[in-house]
Amino acid sequence: MSTPERLIDSTRELLWERGYVGTSPKAILERAGAGQGSMYHHFKGKPDLALAAIRRTAEEMRATAEAVLDGPGTPYERIEAYLLRERDVLRGCPIGRLTMDPEVVASSELRAPVDQTLDWLRERLARIVEEGREQGQFAASLDGEEIAAAVLATVQGGYVLARASGSPAAFDTAVRGLLSLLAPHENHDRPA
């Protein structure tokens, strides 16, 4: 792998583990096995390298999610598959965790890929919910955007609960709770 690639990879790992403020160029270089000169030759500095790393992570996450969301099954089943897909729960979300970083949030450049990724996910989920609503799988009273946001929030918040307790169990519990609320019943379209 080329040196710039190794630098981006090391940065991605460290951003995931320690966030932007917690990651130093020195740590990146050590992990990548490169010297200072290499980094400043290929990148303008820490923010520039972080931007490349965040964009890469965002692309990858989007591709992973797309594979599940475009998969087979009813709308409910696809949302279920998204929620139950294997995750390294205790590591948290490599994109979501960046929203807790003051310097990422303060920089519109660094925040943009984070925002776009979560926004894309929300729209994608919202369309699936609408689809399920048209098919009568979900209650007509539900709103696609709202359910999509709740699904995404449950995932992001599930990571918080899991990391607080030091166990992935809390994530799974929250997801099961949401799924039990979302589960299709026989007569959603019954008149109130």
For residue 5, the minimal CB distance to a second copy (Å) is: 25
Report DSSP state, residue 1: -
For residue 100, the minimal CB distance to DNA (Å) is: 17
Work out whether 47 is an interface residue with DNA (CB under 7 A): yes
On the 0-12 / 13-18 / 19+ scale of CB atoms within 10 A, 180 is exposed
43 contact partners, CB below 8 Å, separation of at least 6: 4, 7, 49, 52
CA 47 – CA 191 distance, rounded (Å): 56
Q: What is the DSSP string of 98-110?
A: GGG-HHHHH-HHH
For residue 93, the minimal CB distance to a second copy (Å) is: 8
Segment 169 to 188, residues that bind a second copy, using CB under 8 A: 170-171, 173-178, 180-182, 185-186
- The smaller minimum CB distance to a second copy, of residues 4 and 184, is found at 184
What is the CB neighbour count within 10 angstroms for residue 91?
A: 13
Segment 131 to 150, residues that bind a second copy, using CB under 8 A: 141-143, 145-150
In degrees and rounded to multiples of 5, residue 151 shows phi and psi of -65, -50
Biggest alpha carbon distance in the chain?
Answer: 70
For residue 133, the minimal CB distance to DNA (Å) is: 47
Work out whether 51 is an interface residue with a second copy (CB under 8 A): no
What is the CB neighbour count within 10 angstroms for residue 103?
A: 15
Decide: 120 and 62 in contact? Cβ < 8 Å: yes
For residue 26, the minimal CB distance to DNA (Å) is: 4
Segment 81 to 120, residues that bind a second copy, using CB under 8 A: 92, 96-97, 99-103, 105, 111, 114-115, 118-119
Interface with a second copy (CB under 8 A)? 17-19, 21-22, 92, 96-97, 99-103, 105, 111, 114-115, 118-119, 122, 141-143, 145-161, 163-166, 170-171, 173-178, 180-182, 185-186, 192
Q: Which residues bind DNA (CB under 7 A)?
A: 2-4, 23-27, 34-38, 40-42, 45-47
